[in-house]
């Protein structure tokens, strides 16, 4: 695995941050508070989704929906997303085994750091992955509610199931709103399909980091 952290200003304690145009405009330095918030938001959705799918699986007497979502979540967050998206981020170049960026999780860095732009197929898989992550639990839970309704459920059980669905929907909305509006506009993984950093700040960061700049403009 290639490590270039010594050549990135993100990990340089002597970097002239006070005079940098990007000061306060990018999440270009490690921040444990942002990591904690992102974990809480991601974790709340995953827990609600697993709870809802788990209850639905019990109702359907079939546990494959729970197994499918559990396996997908593990593969997506620990293997797929780190390869197609995270490996292009400067934080992936840090000399640690576990990823510690401001937005993401403690996935193991088993892939090499790729300073170049993300290519089209990686963007497509990223979008598809997040759509599945959000839509699948809701569809499964709605199907479970429909089956439950057709079996003359008691009102308490029905309200509980609907409550879990609403909880899943709200935590999913919170997940996307917080990331799209409060993280993605400041993220230094500039070629990510969800990145919203203005070009002027991208150029400024690249000028300060030649390794990333050279790879960026070759693709």
Give the tokens for residue 155.
């009102």
pLDDT digits (tens, 9 = 90+) for 19-28: 888 887 888 8
- The residue among 8 and 164 whose pLDDT is bigger is 164
- Number of structural domains (the chain) is 1
Residue 210 lies in a domain: yes
Residue 139 lies in a domain: yes
Residue 44 lies in a domain: yes
pLDDT digits (tens, 9 = 90+) for 101-123: 877 667 888 998 998 889 999 99
Per the structure, the complete domain to which residue 146 belongs is given by 30-217
Mean of the per-residue pLDDT values for the chain? 85
Q: Is 37 exposed, middle or buried (0-12, 13-18, 19+ CB in 10 A)?
A: middle
Output 6-12 pairs: Cβ under 8 A, ≥24 positions apart: 7/209, 7/210, 7/211, 8/90, 8/93, 8/209, 8/211, 8/212, 9/205, 9/208, 9/209, 10/90, 10/91, 10/94, 10/188, 10/209, 11/93, 11/94, 11/95
Per-residue pLDDT band for 3 (boundaries 50, 70, 90) equals very low
Residue 49 lies in a domain: yes
């Amino acid at each position: 695995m290639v490590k270039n952290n010594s050549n990135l200003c993100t990990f340089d304690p002597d970097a002239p941050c006070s005079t940098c145009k990007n000061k306060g405009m990018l999440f270009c330095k490690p921040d444990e508070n942002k990591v904690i918030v992102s974990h809480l938001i991601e974790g709340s959705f995953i827990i609600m989704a697993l709870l809802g799918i788990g209850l639905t699986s019990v109702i359907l007497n079939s546990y494959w929906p729970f197994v499918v979502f559990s396996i997908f979540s593990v593969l997506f967050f620990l293997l797929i997303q780190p390869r197609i998206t995270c490996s292009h981020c400067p934080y992936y170049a840090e000399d640690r085994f576990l990823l510690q960026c401001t937005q993401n999780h403690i996935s193991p860095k088993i892939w090499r750091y790729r300073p170049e732009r993300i290519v089209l197929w990686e963007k497509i898989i990223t979008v598809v992955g997040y759509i599945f992550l959000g839509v699948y639990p809701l569809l499964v839970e709605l199907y479970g509610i429909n089956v439950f309704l057709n079996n003359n459920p008691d009102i308490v059980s029905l309200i509980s199931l609907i409550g879990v669905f609403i909880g899943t929907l709200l935590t999913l909305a919170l997940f996307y709103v917080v990331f799209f509006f409060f993280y993605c506009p400041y993220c230094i993984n500039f070629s990510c399909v969800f990145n919203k950093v203005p070009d002027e700040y991208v150029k400024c960061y690249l000028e300060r980091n030649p390794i990333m700049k050279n790879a960026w403009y070759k693709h």
